[in-house]
Amino acid sequence: MRIATWNVNSITARLPRLLAWLEKNSPDVLCIQETKCAEEQFPFDELRALGYETAVNATGRWNGVALLSKVGLEDVVVGLPGGPLYEEVDEPRAVSATCGPVRVWSVYVPNGREVGHEHYAYKLRWFQALRAAVAQDAAGERPFAVLGDYNVAPTDEDVWDPSVFEGMTHVTPAEREALAHLREAGLSDVVPRPLKYDRPYTYWDYRQLAFPKNRGMRIDLVYANQSFGKAVGDAYVDREERKGKGASDHAPVVVDLDV
């Protein structure tokens, strides 16, 4: 079974590349972040033509997540139960479902913007709600994983130059503590390091030739429970998909399971 996660940075802009990637790689499940469209604009028909059922949490031009599955889509939960609001809005940042033998979440954790900003405090509250929401599944026997754009680099090794990010979001002790607290629910990172590349980043800014210079961050993660982790046969970052015209600024992360 192949499960992947990908921040597409606008499903409308990335649709041709997304469809081509799905045909080439044929994941059973794909978690998508940053759809940047309303649900009525989502390309259900194009994805159905490739055999995918879809669960979507999307409300407009910002944020948005989705789950694509060829192996069933049951017990769908749209949103983060008990999650905080930001400026009185329940942002579309989570969707979960049972897909065949596994249960998965697609999450797009808040960016945080700046340390001390209200969005940063919202990010930390969102992590607390996520831990509470996944704790039961994380401790269960069924293979379970939370995949997506976490907007946190777990360690200094997950950014190209820690000194560049000093005092900025994505690397602060509070964010990393929130990530560690999530792991304490019974989850672990199932994408090993090093992979094919010494530094398997998942995100590179569009500016200042960040991708050609490999000035990236590893912020797209697969955190899974023990049952899921034991079934992992391979895991990798599809760095090639970051290349070329019209690419997202994130690369897909792919996990192959023996279940």
Catalytic residue among 108, 120, 122, 203: 108
How many separate domains does the chain show?
1
The yes-or-no answer on residue 250 being catalytic is yes
C-alpha to C-alpha distances, 136 to 113, 139, 209, nearest whole angstrom: 30, 5, 43
Tokens standing for 126?
Answer: 């969102």
CATH of the domain at 86: 3.60.10.10
* Cβ neighbourhood burial of 159 (10 Å; 0-12, 13-18, 19+): buried
Question: Residue 200: which residues within 8 A CB-CB, separation 6 or more?
Answer: 191, 193, 194, 218, 236, 237, 239
CB 213: neighbour CB atoms within 10 A?
10
Q: What is the DSSP string of 151-204?
A: S--SSGGGBS-GGGGTTSTTS-HHHHHHHHHHHTTT-EE-S-SS-SSSS--SEE
Q: Which of 28, 137, 149, 220 is catalytic?
A: 149
| 7 labelled binding-site residue | yes
Are the CB atoms for 93 and 126 separated by under 8 Å?
Answer: yes
Q: Which of 150, 158, 223, 250 is catalytic?
A: 250
Would you write out the chain's pLDDT as a tens digit for each of its 259 residues?
A: 999 999 999 999 999 999 999 999 999 999 999 999 999 999 999 999 999 999 999 998 889 999 999 999 999 999 999 999 999 999 999 999 999 999 999 999 999 999 999 999 999 999 999 999 999 999 999 999 999 999 999 999 999 999 999 999 999 999 999 999 999 999 999 987 655 555 689 999 999 999 999 999 999 999 999 999 999 999 999 999 999 999 999 999 999 999 9
CB 259 within 8 A of CB 26: no
Question: Which H or E run includes 124?
Answer: helix 118-138
The answer to the question of whether 75 is labelled as a binding residue is no
* Residue 9 among known ligand-binding residues: no
- Whether the ω angle into residue 101 lies within 30 degrees of 0, i.e. cis, is no
Contact by Cβ (8 Å): 156, 172: no
Does the pTM exceed 0.85? Answer: yes
- Amino acid letter, 4: A
Q: Print the domain residue range for 102.
A: 2-257
pLDDT value of position 249: 98
